[in-house]
Amino acid sequence: MARPFRDSRLHISVPLMLVLWSLFDQQSAWANGGTALFTASMFHLLYGNALLGIIEAWVVGMLFRLPFRGSVGTLIAANYFSAFFGVELVQHLSLSDSFTTFLLKRDVFFWLPRLMCVLVVLAFLITVVLEWPFFYWVLRRQEKTVGRSLLASVVAQSLSYSLLTPLYYSASQFGFLRDFAVERSLSFAERKDCAIYYVSPLDGNVHRRQLDGSAHLVVGRTHMPKGELFLRRSDSGQDWDLWMRKHGELQTDIEVCKSVAANNKTVGELQTEAWAGKSEWTGAADRLPINDLRGETEPDWRAGVTLWPDSALVAENAKTGATLRVALETPFLTWRVSGASLLPGDQVVMEFGDQVVLLDLNQRKIGLIAVGRSPVAVLPKDESTPSVGDAAKAVATPSNAPKTDSGRPLLTRPNHQGAETTKGDK
């Protein structure tokens, strides 16, 4: 006959001590092995599930009068099953274009904290359902097995999530929500004459907007949502053309627009490699210097984009020593940072999880310019600000823009009612 629970307390201490020893031993080994979230996830998957199974067996045994030995193995298996199922589910959703499109179309940038809360609740409910058959098995000899096993699963997951939530909260990166005020208006943009070219992940075309979000038009119907935009010197050497790079079996470069920038100062120059830190793993630079359009010899702010183990914008003020970090890495969502450019006024345009955003490093503000990827920022030829109409007209009529069968440029511009009409289709 199985021993009662109170006689099995000694059996808890040995595996518990082994798990805790493994945690402290592995922390030093993983110190430089990845982000804090990576370390927390690895501990949870490899060791944490065993610890949670032991704790759940202890608590459920006291509440439902179960022998510890008869339930601990089953509940450990339940935790490993639900954890690895959750990993597969999150990975599937993160790679799903339909799920990403669903979030982007609903302006996820502005309700990110609420989304995180919803996802935690959904994860809790899914775990209750996944582990319920295991609790049914260990309670199968008791009366009202269905109800009692469901209640036991709810109690166990409540206990587990009370431990996992602070663990993953402390390991996740979303400090920009604390350090920056999320603005729905881009009125804080200083250089509203700055043109932003980007690739829309929704239609795969190349779009253009002013920095404040106005003067939106499509400058190239490329239909390549994964394409990367970049600038290349024109044949004349006097200005810069906009190109798209398509990655695949064969790397292909496609010209999108001619003469989008007048000279090198307009395009900007990469910050020096001195700002790029050195990786403890490879000894190479672990920060990418970003495009600087400020034209200042000794700017207050310098910035770079980290390569590994995470993807984040790191900015440092040379005068005050203040450091800012913009990243999003959670168990559910991770937004990469790329295509960053420093603008006059210490403002940054960059891609942040398939969204083009504007940051003000001094005012600590962040706003959404558009849903898009691979942004390229271009300032006008001189310091005078052109009218929106003139700027749009200048960029909307490149000689080599994609054309219809009739040979007319295939471009769009807003009509008087705010809808887009396509020039060249009629």
pLDDT in tens, 81-93: 999 999 899 888 8
Contact 319, 301 (CB under 8 A): no
Tell me: do 188 and 151 sit in the same domain: no
Alpha-carbon distance of 329 to 146, in angstroms, equals: 38
The answer to whether residue 419 sits within a structural domain is: no
In SS3 terms, 250-302 reads as CCEEEEEEEEEECCHHHHCEECCHHHCCECCCCCCECEEECEECCCCCCCCEE
Range in 289-293, 313-317, 347-351, 403-407 the model is least confident about: 403-407
Instruction: Give the β-pairing of 365-370 and 206-210.
Output: unpaired
The answer to whether residue 421 sits within a structural domain is: no
Tokens of 214: 């106005």
Contact 367, 198 (CB under 8 A): no
pTM reported for the whole predicted model: 0.75
- Confidence check: pLDDT of 224 > 80: yes
Residue 231's pLDDT is 86
Contact 379, 263 (CB under 8 A): no
The answer to whether residue 66 sits within a structural domain is: yes
Q: What is the mean pLDDT of residues 231-255?
A: 82
Helix, strand, coil percentages (3-state) for the chain, rounded to 5, are 40, 25, 35
- Confidence check: pLDDT of 15 > 50: no
Alpha-carbon distance of 230 to 240, in angstroms, equals: 10
Residue 385's pLDDT is 35
Tell me: do 25 and 137 sit in the same domain: yes
Which residues contact residue 2 at a Cβ distance below 8 angstroms, ignoring those fewer than 6 apart?
67, 69, 70
User: Tell me: the pLDDT tens digits for 314-329?
Assistant: 888 988 989 898 989 9
Range in 216-230, 270-284, 296-310, 318-332 the model is least confident about: 270-284
Contact 130, 160 (CB under 8 A): no
Share of the chain above pLDDT 90, in %: 38
Domain carrying residue 76? 5-172
The answer to whether residue 425 sits within a structural domain is: no
Q: What is the mean pLDDT of the chain?
A: 77
Residue 91's pLDDT is 85
Which residues contact residue 215 at a Cβ distance below 8 angstroms, ignoring those fewer than 6 apart?
208, 209, 388, 391, 392
Tell me: do 260 and 283 sit in the same domain: yes
The answer to whether residue 423 sits within a structural domain is: no
Q: Which of 172, 189, 218 is the last residue of a domain?
A: 172
Q: Which of 137, 172, 207 is the last residue of a domain?
A: 172
Contact 217, 208 (CB under 8 A): yes
Tokens of 284: 């190479």
The answer to whether residue 18 sits within a structural domain is: yes
Tell me: do 154 and 249 sit in the same domain: no
Contact 315, 301 (CB under 8 A): yes
Tell me: do 163 and 224 sit in the same domain: no
- Confidence check: pLDDT of 262 > 70: no
Tell me: do 204 and 267 sit in the same domain: yes
C-alpha distances (whole Å) from 192 to each of 222, 231, 405, 413 are 26, 21, 36, 19
Tell me: do 232 and 380 sit in the same domain: yes
Tell me: do 128 and 213 sit in the same domain: no
Tell me: do 233 and 132 sit in the same domain: no
Contact 195, 208 (CB under 8 A): yes
Tokens of 271: 């910050």
Task: Tell the burial category of 132 from Cβ atoms under 10 Å away from its Cβ (0-12, 13-18, 19+).
Answer: buried
Tell me: do 74 and 182 sit in the same domain: no
Tokens of 75: 């509940």
- Confidence check: pLDDT of 99 > 90: no
Q: Which of 172, 189, 220 is the last residue of a domain?
A: 172
The answer to whether residue 393 sits within a structural domain is: yes
Residue 76's pLDDT is 94
Tell me: do 304 and 385 sit in the same domain: yes
Which of 36-40, 68-72, 108-112, 153-157 holds the top average pLDDT? 153-157
Specify the amino acid at residue 246: K
Tell me: do 213 and 355 sit in the same domain: yes
Query: Using the 8-state DSSP alphabet, how is residue 321 labeled?
Result: -
The answer to whether residue 195 sits within a structural domain is: yes
How many domains, the chain? 2
Longest dimension (CA), the chain: 91
Which is higher by pLDDT, 114 or 248?
114
